[in-house]
Structure 1
């Protein structure tokens, strides 16, 4: 009985997530940034429609969590929110016009949006809510037609992104996280075997704690990626070492 209970407790423990290693400053900055960003978004919506539209504020609230709480995430980059919301709104309005059944239109809109966001490199989870809003937003959204894409979706996305750029950089957060060119591989010393120090999960935890910013990946997954990359690097280095040894001999 005790063994079964222990197994059950261990199984339940797997569902308990790891702590988010954001320091107090990061947490405060995230909260303030999201609040200010959404206030701007809500004011724009109120100006556009004469009243607040909960359906539209919901996806923007989700975007604010990414842009201000997890600005390092690939899902939170400027092109992700602007491009993702633009694609989703276009697809959503089109599906609303072409598919009579609203449930089917909503499902197809989200599916097609995801299919387009992958090759366009603008995957943004809240954009799924934008696509549904275009279909199920009610008479106010329907009357806008494709105007919904430009105003308020695109305008609000640009405003929220612009504020995120100013706010995050004002607080010394690196945003956006640009893709850098791969550095050239260092020359291999053929006199020494490739024996790098193994990275442990404790090392990953310490590095993330020192960083102080939330990274959108689990520690164990990050460790597995490092290990796999190290194995590939070691395999690639061995043939070059063998060539160097043959030439030296």
Structure 2
């Protein structure tokens, strides 16, 4: 079949040819670069927002810290004059049982020590000494304070009493023995982390108490440390009664 029979000429026949053209390298690079540029700008913007947010938080934290320091410094300035002459802030009124049981424990302790004194009277020895009254106040009234720890009680009682005997042996009676013994007792309690305020009076009691001189270094264990054993036992009973019998 010829071309004339189909009703078309050779010159008018043009076949449909589809050619797949590759993408232009420049335009593809530009689009890729633009996409990467937008991502990078988005990341930079995000980091900028994050940095500004963190800077804002740091500024707020710094401002709060400055205000706290300022308030604490202002409160510390007023504390020595006003707060020390007023009850502790936020402290509640004690229950009747919180008053009764420590007082009853102190009465029982002094009664037992007095009974022991009657037994030891022929030997010229007494268990009722003034520092044990201060020990009762610490153990019964403030049982959770550092001075009421058993380690602090016995370490300070034994050490400070021995320091008093040593100071009296070296310096004899007088102001020099009292001063050096008290200074050494405080240094001993701080260095051993056994601060127990009533024990600081034991060296002074020995130096000024002629009836105790014959005990010599036995004074380190008697009557202070020995009396504290009895007081610690009574303290356990007082704490139990305070926790279980409230009124």
TM-score normalised by L of structure 2? 0.58
Tell me, what secondary structure is at the counterpart of 1:82?
Answer: helix
> What is the correspondence of 1:106-117 to structure 2 with a 5 Å cutoff?
106-117=178-189
Contact 1:95 1:108 in 2 (8 A): yes
1:43 to 78, 94, 115: 115
Contact 1:74 1:80 in 2 (8 A): yes
TM-score normalised by L of structure 1? 0.58
1:56-82 C-alpha deviation (Å, 9 max, x unpaired): 521100110111011111111222222
Q: Which protein is bigger by CA-based radius of gyration?
A: 2
- Distance in 1 (alpha carbons) for counterparts of 2:206 and 2:118: 18
C-alpha RMSD over aligned residues? 2.8
1:163-213 C-alpha deviation (Å, 9 max, x unpaired): 21233234338xxxxxxxxxxxxxxxxxxxxxxxxxxxxxxxxxxxxxx9x
Contact 1:89 1:148 in 2 (8 A): yes
2:145 to 68, 73, 82: 73
Change (3 A) 1:24 1:141: same
Aligned length: 163
Question: 2:61 aligned with 1:61, yes or no?
Answer: no
Contact 2:102 2:238 in 1 (8 A): no
Gaps of 5+ in 2: 1-79
Q: Which residue of 2 aligns with 1:241?
A: none
1:10-40 C-alpha deviation (Å, 9 max, x unpaired): x986553216642221111111111112222
Question: 2:91 aligned with 1:91, yes or no?
Answer: no
1:48-101 C-alpha deviation (Å, 9 max, x unpaired): 3446859x5211001101110111111112222221111111101111111124
Tell me, what secondary structure is at the counterpart of 2:221?
Answer: helix
- State the shift of 1:132 in Å: 0.9
